[in-house]
Amino acid sequence: LQQRRGLRLSAPAAIQVTVRDALNQAMDEELERDERVFLLGEEVAQYDGAYKVSRGLWKKYGDKRVIDTPISEMGFAGIAVGAAMAGLRPVCEFMTFNFSMQAIDQVINSAAKTCYMSAGSIPVPIVFRGPNGAAAGVAAQHSQCFAAWYGHCPGLKVVSPWSSEDAKGLLKAAIRDDNPVVVLESELLYSVPFEMSEQAQSKEFVVPIGKAKIEKQGTHVTLVAHSRPVGHCLEAAAVLSKEGVECEVINMRTIRPMDIETVEASVAKTNHLVTVEGGWPQFGVGAEICARIMEGPAFNYLDAPAVRVTGADVPMPYAKILEDNSIPQVKDIVFAVKKVLNI
């Protein structure tokens, strides 16, 4: 009636959604969409998940679709891989990716290599997801970033979301993918709200795996990050903007396959590169990005050496002041940018 009267109808506005709720929405929508999808892991069902990411799913879908497992990562990861080989689409939650080391044989030797070793006849459509990297005050055995570890392995796809749209879209894409996908979440982002567009609220919204996103346009230096450090880069860019330095901030979103073309195009424009990550420096994600730029056409556009900002090369300390100094902070990014720009 309003349309007939010539009145303009306003589109539904963007809403604020936490990363936790975005992940929950993704699993809910995919469980509903495809009966082959199921979730398993420690405390994912009756307890609603250790971080409440699977809240309400057990009550909605029941014991066959949302399954509590014993504390045996190798056991339930192996069950999940076998289920994927048999035609189901498991979502295997690790309470933290540090615990995935108990199951790394299943992830790498069983899941990642089977499609290749079977000449493509046995796909393994499985998702391994859970919090990755540093949380707060949980010390060395619960704070490791596995982006470089899993990004190293052919046969896996590896995604690392930052915002709520990243989290929902990448998890849905991962569940629908016919390859093993590792979804590296950040525990410290679970409660952080982000704006979610009308498009992202759709049940068919997915973020393509293997495509980076430019979060902020800039002309002086390219900042490349994934997961929580993307937010740090945007904060550093705001600080530097007041000093006349305009940073271009790239959210990688996917670690493997890596969208190096977006980084190359940005470096060709800004002529400077700084990579930022929470993981260790040696053989890290930033090291790979720098190597790709060094070996490719964008190297000719660099006016200064690329600089990496990483976590400290130590097991994560427990004491808060030491922990803070082991993780890249906004001031570290600002310092690196000024170093690479020689200002």
- Residue 2 pLDDT exceeds 50: no
Can you tell me the mean pLDDT for 48-67?
Answer: 96
Same topology between domain 16-201 and domain 213-341: yes
pLDDT in the model for residue 14? 87
- Residue 256 pLDDT exceeds 70: yes
Structure tokens at 233: 């880069």
Structure tokens at 275: 């990579």
- What is the percentage of the chain residues whose pLDDT exceeds 90? 96
If one looks up domain 16-201 in CATH, what number appears? 3.40.50.970
The pLDDT confidence band at residue 12, using thresholds 50, 70 and 90, is: low
Query: Domain map of the chain by residue range?
Result: 16-201, 213-341
Can you tell me the mean pLDDT for 240-262?
Answer: 97
pLDDT in the model for residue 225? 98
The count of other CB atoms within 10 Å of the CB of residue 50 is 17
- Residue 7 pLDDT exceeds 70: no
Tens of pLDDT, residue by residue over 73-95, are: 999 999 999 999 999 999 999 99
- Residue 11 pLDDT exceeds 60: no
- Residue 209 pLDDT exceeds 70: yes
**Which amino acids are annotated catalytic?**
73, 142
Structure tokens at 43: 């405390």
Tens of pLDDT, residue by residue over 291-331, are: 999 999 999 999 999 999 999 999 999 999 999 999 999 99
If one looks up domain 213-341 in CATH, what number appears? 3.40.50.920
Structure tokens at 133: 């990297």
Sheet of 89-93, strands arranged across:
66-68, 37-41, 89-93, 127-131, 181-185, 157-159, 254-256
